[in-house]
Amino acid sequence: MCGIVGYVGKKRAAPLLLGALKKLEYRGYDSAGIAVLCGGLAVRKCAGEVSNLRSTASMEGTCGIGHTRWATHGGPTERNAHPHVWKRFAVVHNGIIENYQSLRAECEARGEEFYSETDSEVVAHLMEFYYAGDLLGALKETCARLKGSYALAVLCSERPGTIALARYKSPLVVGVGGGVWCASDIPAIAAKDRALYPLADGEFALLGDGAQFYGREGRIEKQPVGRDMSESIPLKRGYRHFMRKEIDEIPAVLAKCRPCALVSASFPGVRDGLAASSHITVVACGTAYHAGLAARCAFETLARVPCTVTVASEYRYADPVIGEGETVIAVSQSGETADTIAAAELARGCGARTVAVVNVTDSTLAGLCDDALPVSAGREIAVAATKSFNAQLMVLYTLAATLAEAKGRRGYGDLLKEMPELAAQTVSVGEGVRAWVAYFVSASSVYFIGRGADYVAALEGSLKLKEITYLPSEGYPAGELKHGTLALVEEGTPIVAVLTSERLAEKTMNAVHEVYARGARVFLITSLAEYAASKELTGAVVIPQCGEVFSPMLSVIPLQLLAYYVSVARGIDPDKPRNLAKSVTVE
């Protein structure tokens, strides 16, 4: 899973490719590379981030392709970096070639040599095999042999000034204006006066003086899509890391959502569709899945609509029962997560009404669902999702509040209006977790516990901690701890309990007593001040009250801060944790 880019025009390609690749690093930063046509093929590759790419100054050509990688097949080494080159061809690829082993064996049987462990290298070999002067024809024949997913950009040393493209189940967009461009996403190449043409599955393009588009049968015309150019690339503005800045942005993001007006006025189809739904299913991955779990509490408790939440990668192969009158909500920050897209496609194909809850509104997911609700978190740079989670909750809670209102249960929308102010207070008191860092920094494992909505916050807090500190960590239902995980608690094991439910407070405190009795160091995030003074606690942060169901929107904030400060204390860059990517566009 990776980001690809291409440029052909009048300017030197290398610096333009590097600039666009930087914007695609959210898709992976295991290695980078560019290839430029200048006489023959000039190629530079490196392990690690795009900024590690050296000696590109001497690359003079005005036509090139580039790649930033998230390793799937083969380690994050220079050897496995794209572009992959075989004889006259250089290829960059985003996706997975599932049948690469048999294709590679076929090429090797012809005496061809491979140098990498990647699935992608075989594409350059197939291009060379099928090429007889017709670049597009060779690409079509190559793609006909591939199983899996791909966005491909191909250079041929015999075709100066031309880039050939193919797309199947991995995003690819062409930009015309100020040269001709291609990239895995729109923001990487969007510019004023540049027309943008997303390719559809099965489409091809040749970029040169302009862009020509092709379906399997022949030439096709495409219409450019609109793009809101007002969004600028965020800067750190004095912050050491984007993640810390993005946590500080949560109150402003929640204020911007204006959710109730949004759902009722701007998306009546979503409101009416949901009101008619007998069942809601949420599909998502990672942090967005946790947003779905939090939403379930709201849909069921406030609106009394049954709701199931499923990890998208499971849903797509589970042969799910998709009933009539069902709404499937696909939640995704990027709108490009392959599993979430596939789950939404499946649901739509089975007749469900599909709603995307997305931060990137011109994403693939937004385009394929019946409706797309924007979460309006603004661009999120840090790999670990923070403000987009709180914003997803705002939209999902608003849907639940709207449904509840339709059933005569009023007042929840008003509560949501207070959230920006309460979130600002929470960011401020959440800084208290800095005093806890020393107890976590060398822990061998950490546990987060809670019940109901507090359990969802525990899950997300645990995910944040493990992804940016590399500490083994689990989120657990407080009542389930004693059925196994308690065996792992030792003297000094840090345990974070989340407690905002008055109804369940004593029950959660039972688990606190139990782990304390076994030597754990217990830390509490609570909106119930009376529990903060409990003698078992090493630390407590008291956050504002906002009702049990909506509480993860606030209680997660000190957990995000805890993960951030522990990460920094461990000398890790929280914005770019190892092995991860902001958006996972492969299975």
Please give the residue ranges that form the binding site for ligand G6P (CB under 6 A).
285-288, 332-334, 337, 340, 383-385, 580, 582-584
Select which of 22, 387, 576, 582 is catalytic: 582
The one-letter code for the residue type at 120 is S
Tell me the residue nearest to ligand G6P as measured from the CB.
286
For residue 26, the minimal CB distance to ligand G6P (Å) is 9
The answer to whether residue 2 is catalytic is yes
Which residue spans within 478-546 are E strands per DSSP? 494-499, 521-526, 537-542
- Looking at the Cβ atoms of 275 and 580, the one nearer to ligand G6P is 580
CB-based contacts of 367, cutoff 8 Å, min separation 6: 198
Considering the complex, state which of residue 363 and residue 500 has its C-beta at the smaller distance from ligand G6P.
363
- Determine the Cα–Cα distance for residues 161 and 173; give it in Å rounded to an integer: 19
Query: Which strands make up the sheet holding 195-198, listed edge to edge?
Result: 40-47, 31-38, 63-69, 2-8, 180-183, 173-176, 195-198
Nearer to ligand G6P, 123 or 293 (CB): 293
Q: At its nearest, how many Å lie between ligand G6P and the CB of residue 379?
A: 12
Q: Least Å distance between CB 337 and ligand G6P?
A: 3
| In the complex, minimum distance from the CB of residue 158 to ligand G6P, in angstroms, rounded to a whole number | 39
Judged by CB, which is closer to ligand G6P: 284, or 522?
A: 284
Nearest to 87 by CA among 105, 67, 107: 107
- Edge-first strand order for the sheet with 204-207 is 84-86, 89-97, 148-156, 163-168, 204-207, 211-214, 219-220
Residues 6+ apart with CB under 8 A from 153: 4, 5, 6, 65, 91, 92, 163, 164, 165, 172, 182
Identify any residues that bridge with 255 across adjacent strands, giving them in sequence order: none
- Please report how close the Cβ of residue 489 comes to ligand G6P at its closest, in angstroms: 28
Q: Tell the smallest beta-carbon distance from residue 330 to ligand G6P (Å).
A: 9
CB of 285 to ligand G6P, least distance (A): 4
Residue 116 or residue 332: which is nearer to ligand G6P going by CB? 332
Report the residue number, 327 or 583, with the smaller CB distance to ligand G6P.
Answer: 583
Q: Name residues whose C-beta falls within 8 Å of residue 256's C-beta, 6 or more positions apart in sequence.
A: 376
For ligand G6P, the closer of residues 69 and 194 by Cβ is 69
Two structure tokens written together for 109: 């049987």
The smaller minimum CB distance to ligand G6P, of residues 336 and 548, is found at 336
CA dihedral 509, 515, 518, 522 (to 10 degrees): -90
Q: Is 209 helix (H, G, I), strand (E, B) or coil?
A: coil
163: closest CA among 2, 6, 5? 6
Q: How far is the CB of 332 from ligand G6P (least distance, A)?
A: 3
DSSP state of 572: -
Instruction: Calculate ∠ Cα 3-214-72, nearest 5°.
Output: 25
DSSP per-residue letters across 37-64: EESEEEEEEEES-GGG----TT---SEE
Q: What are phi and psi of 362, to 5 degrees?
A: -100, 30
For the bound state, the minimum distance from the C-beta of residue 386 to ligand G6P, rounded and expressed in Å, comes to 9
| Nearest CB to ligand G6P, comparing residues 288 and 305 | 288
Contacts of 43 (CB under 8 A, 6+ apart): 33, 34, 35, 83, 85, 90
Decide if 582 is catalytic.
yes
Among candidates 581, 583, 231, 554, which has minimal Cα distance to 393?
554
DSSP state of 81: P
Helix (H) or strand (E) holding 165: strand 163-168
Q: Which residues are catalytic, by number? A: 2, 582
